[in-house]
Amino acid sequence: MAYSIEFHPKVERDLDKIPLKSVREILKSIREKLTVRPGTAGEALKGKLKGFYKLKIADFRVVYALEKGKVYILTIAQRGKVYEIAKQRKSR
């Protein structure tokens, strides 16, 4: 079963802050890994982000959730900032 990808409205702003070469690598990894087996491609998060997963791509992290046949991408950012951004977006 192929999963569809859906992005949080602010992910486009996340990508604007990342160098183009890295954006290409991130989007390629999302297409290749998260459309086929998203539950095993990433690592389950704990604590306030329980129910979400992270996908590591170099110094960047993609935080996402699985919802009936789709992958919902909450945020894409550097590992030092990504979890705080994800917590803020999750609570809205």
The length of the chain in residues reads 92
Sign of the dihedral through C-alpha 12, 13, 18, 20: positive
Measured between alpha carbons, how far is 39 from 23 in angstroms, rounded to an integer? 22
Smallest Cα–Cα separation from 33: which of 66, 9, 80, 59?
Answer: 66
Tell me: the pLDDT tens digits for 32-54? 999 998 999 999 999 999 999 99
Which sequence spans correspond to the domains of the chain?
4-90
Q: Does domain 4-90 have CATH number 3.30.2310.20?
A: yes
Tell me: the pLDDT tens digits for 49-66? 999 999 999 999 999 999
pTM: 0.94
Measured between alpha carbons, how far is 86 from 50 in angstroms, rounded to an integer? 11
Residue 84 has pLDDT above 70, yes or no: yes
